[in-house]
Amino acid sequence: MTKHRRRTYLIKTGLQLRYMGIIISTMLMVAFGVGWITYDTSWSQIANTPDLTLDKLSVIFDSVNNLLLRWIGIFVLVIAALSILVSHKIAGPVYRLEETTKLIASGDLTHRIHLRQGDELRDLQDAFNKMSESLSAMINKDREIIERLVKTSNEIKIKIEGKSLTPDSATQITEELNSIVEELRTITCTFKTEETESEFEKETEDSASLA
């Protein structure tokens, strides 16, 4: 049976509404500017020209067109500058995220993302840093367990070479090794390396609902 899921368009409501407001404000500014220029240069001149002829009307329209072209060029430059400033608040964090991800993928877990005041995606920054800290803690725990394993291995070697491996010490070493194995299992079981079919279908449906 096919499941019908409603698409979710407002995922990050605050972020999306903020940029929606910027786009709408820019469009209103351009519309108001064009309307004001058209009225001020054409309709006002037409209203103030009692003996209006086709030649005079043509001159008025030519002046309006020339003025509109100049102002449209100014509007384009202003909008382009605003677009760069606004998009930089997202492009900057995305760039930092990409660079830090590459460092972490190479094995350096010491790096964290620190966005500037006013940048977007600060929630993503916190989640990413939390992930890095969690991975660092797991790696440190692994190293501690490896050190214990090396120490236990050396103890076994010394006891075997000295022929002092008694049943009690063997039992103690076995319990220590079992404890190390259980700790390693506890750490590694938190990682998922394969995806079940049901989980894949669920993620596919979630992605479709966000599309």
Among 60, 4, 67, 1, CA closest to 208: 4
Question: Which of helix, strand or coil describes residue 211?
Answer: coil
Mean pLDDT of 80-94: 85
- If pLDDT is split at 50, 70 and 90, which confidence band does 10 have? confident
CB atoms within 10 A of CB 71: 16
Q: What is the pLDDT of residues 131-164, one digit of tens each?
A: 999 888 888 888 888 888 888 878 777 777 777 7
- If pLDDT is split at 50, 70 and 90, which confidence band does 5 have? low
Question: Domain spans of the chain?
Answer: 10-120, 134-193
- The residues, ordered by sequence, that sit 6+ positions from 121 with a Cβ below 8 Å of its Cβ are 90, 93, 94, 97, 115
Sequential DSSP letters for 99-115: HHHHHHHTT-------P
Q: What is the pLDDT of residues 21-75, one digit of tens each?
A: 888 888 888 888 888 877 777 777 776 777 767 777 777 778 778 888 888 888 8
CB atoms within 10 A of CB 74: 10
In this prediction, residue 1 carries a pLDDT of: 47
Query: pLDDT above 90 covers what percent of the chain?
Result: 4
Q: What is the mean pLDDT of the chain?
A: 79
Mean pLDDT of 113-133: 87
